[in-house]
Amino acid sequence: MSQVIKLEAIGKRYLMGDQAVDVLNGLDLIVNTNEFVALTGPSGSGKSTLMNILGCLDKPTAGQYLLSGEDVSQFDENRLAQVRNQHIGFIFQSFNLMPRMTALDNVAQPLIFSGIPLKERKRRALEALKHVELDDRADHIPAQLSGGQRQRVAIARALVTKPDILLADEPTGNLDSKTTDAIMNLFEALHQEGQTIVIVTHESEIAGRCKRVIDLRDGVIASDSFNEVSA
Amino acid sequence: MIVDILRSASQSIRANLMRSALTCLGIIVGVASTIAVVSVIEGLKANIGEQFESMGSNALTVQAYTPIKQAMTGRFARIDHTDLQLIEDRVEGIIDVTPILYLPGSRNGGTKYKGNISTATVLGTSASYIRLDNWFPEIGRFILPQDDQTRRRIAVIGSKVREDLELPEDPRGEYIQIMGEWFKVAGVMEERGELFGFSQDDLIMMPYSAARSLNGRGRLLNIEIRFKAENIEELNQVKQRVERLLRKKRGIGENDVDDFKVQTADQLLDNFSSFTTSVTLVLGGIVAISLLVGGIGIMNIMLVSVTERTREIGINKALGATRQFIMMQFLIEAVILCLMGGMIGILAGYGLGAGVAAMLPGFPPASVPLWTIGLALGFSATVGIVFGIAPAAKAAGLNPIDALRYE
């Protein structure tokens, strides 16, 4: 099993006026290929910050971050954009779809930034939509889709670049329990196919359906355990 | 990549069609007003050029010139009959010396025929007039030298005068009343059409001597003297000779200002050109200001648009859009808006210019030279870049984490 994520002594310090606040404190973490991880913790524990660093949206102020063997903590803005585009698939709580674009165009959007021609983009986007069983809704704009369908479009968009890792930030936070169940089933299916997944959540039911649960407290890992129940 | 940026820019313009149109308005108005004015002026220029060409390039005109300072004291300079005689007698190398005496008050309806009134300009001149203006009679004859010598009361009229007075098709032999005196019509000139909306055929010509007597012989009336240089190469020498002579006659010292002007046809054309140039410059300034205002409008809307689309920018950045991509997206959107405004402005301006030219009777048709179209589009694009760059930089510089969190 190869390491997708390797964090070594990661620290993140914010300056609030002349006071320094350490949100992350020398955090070490390894996530291997095909792991299905839940990142939990109370608000203020640093899980959002960790999520942003894992997603290359933010840079750590200390430590080293190896993503698929590459030290991305030293990358400049443009290379980070490239990493986000090619190695990471984001899924957000509020879906973050472009409201005026069709489902197909939304899914195809990241491929624009990888410089893939239009025809190929459409083909791959349709394939990704098929993967989440929404290919019959390809021409619909987000407003014409239900919450669960929107999140599936967002998941298709995250999958379309075939990323090393799926990063989901409270993916079911805006969904009812029935839809939540369907989305979690989809994540489980993706996990079965070999996808590496990290889900940030504060709901224990969600965490309970992941294979590994990492609990964050005050910027450090308080517990790191494997669920045996849902094997 | 550029194609995708263009596509996304045009998408967002279409999504806010009303706002985009209003944003363009500043540019549209600016460009339309330029094009309208330029098209009218260019049309005029072409027309005027033709007019002056017919005057011949070896023709010279002597006119009285009153400096503004002197005019304010009420003393007006004049060229009179004695000047004419002096030039005729003393200047060598000139031909067709022609006096033109405009009869004051003739435009107030001093010409009558069977109850019809004409407001034509009446002037007294000599036989050589037709050769200076390249304008010839269509019916009958022009003034002959013997008409002038015998002070014959004959008149040669422009085609508009015949219309206004409802004279017969061939009015030769009819008598018309000019300022209380009877004149026999000897001929009708070719039709010349209109210039600046004024008919050039609303003219009555009579022998110079007859015109002088009509006005009371004792008075020295202000006249215009035209003549040609025998050799075109001598044009400048002839001009200087005339100037020297007139200066001497009037006792004008070397450092004094002349109270007359000797001008070639080219100089008359230059006068007109410098007039149109200054009009163009003034209007150019106004247009520049309106484009500036339009540009600020674009910048304002683009800044609003960036704020409004903060989340979209955040999403794109999370999905891997580089700073350059976002920057180009907004910059191209601003440039497209400006170019659209420019193109609509060109069409509207041309329509406006053509409309104005068509509405004024006798105005030459408007013409838009290619360089103005290029200039207008270039200027619009520049405005787009200059005023689009700040909003685009703002968009590109957004932090993706903050942008994603933006509601």
ipTM score here? 0.92
Give the range of the structural domain holding residue A186, as residue numbers without chain letter: 34-59+78-226
Overall domain count for chain A: 1
B219 phi and psi angles, rounded to 5 deg:
-80, 145
Residue A22 is assigned to a structural domain of this protein: no
Pair of tokens at residue B331 = 């910059």
Dihedral sign (CA A166, A167, A170, A171): negative
Q: How far is A168 from chain B (nearest CA, A)?
A: 13
For B404, nearest residue in chain A (alpha carbons): A96
In CATH, what number is assigned to the domain containing residue A163?
Answer: 3.40.50.300
Distances (CA, A) of A176 to A146, A179, B204, B298: 11, 5, 97, 43
CB contact under 8 A, A81 and B320: yes
Residue A221 counted as domain residue? yes
Using an 8 Å Cβ cutoff, are A12 and A24 in contact?
yes
The yes-or-no verdict on residue B212 having pLDDT over 70 is yes
CA distance A48 to B319: 18
Q: Tell me the chain B residues in contact with residue A109 when contact means C-beta distances shorter than 8 Å.
A: 316, 319
Q: What is the pLDDT of residues B312-359, one digit of tens each?
A: 999 999 999 999 999 999 999 889 988 999 999 989 988 888 888 888
Mean pLDDT along residues B95-100: 90
| Alpha carbon distance, N-terminus to C-terminus of chain A | 18
Facing B322 at nearest CB: one of A58, A81, A92: A81
Q: Do the domain assignments include residue A3?
A: no
Using an 8 Å CB-CB cutoff, list residues of chain A that contact chain B: 52, 55, 57-58, 77-78, 81-82, 84-86, 90, 92, 96, 98, 100, 109-110, 112-115, 118, 157, 161
The string of DSSP codes covering B310-339 is HHHHHHHHHTT--HHHHHHHHHHHHHHHHH
Rg of chain B, C-alpha, whole Å: 32
| Beta-carbon count within 10 A of B361 CB | 9
Mutate to test the interface with B, among A96, A118, A161 (most CBs of B within 10 A): A96
A102 in any annotated domain: yes
pLDDT given for residue A211 in this prediction = 93
Residue B188 has pLDDT above 50, yes or no: yes
Residue B366 carries which DSSP code? Answer: P
HEC string of chain A equals CCEEEEEEEEEEEEEECCEEEEEEEEEEEEEECCCEEEEECCCCCCHHHHHHHHCCCCCCCEEEEEECCEEHHHCCHHHHHHHHHHHEEEECCCCCCCCCCCHHHHHHHHHHHCCCCHHHHHHHHHHHHHHCCCHHHCCCCHHHCCHHHHHHHHHHHHHCCCCCEEEEECCCCCCCHHHHHHHHHHHHHHHHCCCEEEEECCCHHHHHHCCEEEEEECCEEEEEEECCCCC
Q: Using the beta-carbon criterion (under 8 Å), do B315 and A52 form an inter-chain contact?
A: no
pLDDT exceeds cutoff 90 at B12:
no
Structural domain includes residue A93: yes
Amino acid identity, position B1: M
Sheet containing A3-16: give its strands across.
A19-32, A3-16, A62-67, A70-71
What value does the mean pLDDT take over residues B247-265?
A: 83
Q: Of the candidates A77, A96, A114, which has its C-beta nearest B315's C-beta?
A: A96
What's the CA gap between B403 and B407, in Å, rounded?
9
How many Å lie between the alpha carbon of B387 and the closest alpha carbon of chain A? 25
Please classify residue A212 by burial: count the beta carbons closer than 10 Å to its beta carbon, then call 0-12 exposed, 13-18 middle and 19+ buried: middle
- B203 φ, ψ to 5°? -145, 135
Among B3, B11, B321, select the one facing A113 at the smallest CB separation: B321
Mean pLDDT computed over A68-82: 91
Q: Is residue A126 in some structural domain?
A: yes
Distance from CA of B379 to the nearest CA of A (A): 31
In-domain check, residue A182: yes
* pLDDT, mean over chain B: 84
Cβ separation A110–B320 shorter than 8 A: yes
Q: Are B66 and B77 in contact (CB under 8 A)?
A: yes
Residue B219 reports pLDDT greater than 70: no
Mutation test of the interface with chain B: which of A52, A109, A153, A170, choosing the one with the most B Cβ atoms within 10 A?
A109
Average pLDDT over every residue of B272-294:
78
pLDDT number for residue A230: 46
Phi, psi of B181 (to 5 degrees): -115, 155
Report in angstroms the alpha-carbon separations of B249 from B85, B218, B244. 12, 20, 9
What is the enclosing helix (H) or strand (E) of B100?
strand B94-102
How high is the pLDDT of residue A178? 92
pLDDT over 90 percentage in chain B: 22
Examine the pLDDT at A43 and tell me if it is beyond 80.
Answer: yes
* pLDDT value of residue A231: 43
- The answer to whether the Cβ–Cβ distance between B318 and A57 falls below 8 Å is yes
Its sign, for the CA torsion A215, A217, A221, A223, is negative
Please tell me the predicted confidence (pLDDT) of residue A71.
92
B315: which chain A residues are within 8 Å (Cβ-Cβ)? 96, 98
In this complex, how many residue pairs, one in chain A and one in chain B, have their CB atoms less than 8 Å apart?
58
> For position B63, what pLDDT does the model report?
87
Residue B395 pLDDT greater than 50, yes or no:
yes
Q: Which of B3, B311, B320 faces A114 most closely, judged by CB atoms?
A: B320
H helices of B215-322, where?
235-250, 265-308, 310-318
Q: What residues of B are in the A interface, CB distance below 8 Å?
A: 1, 3-4, 11, 15, 311-312, 314-325, 400-401, 404
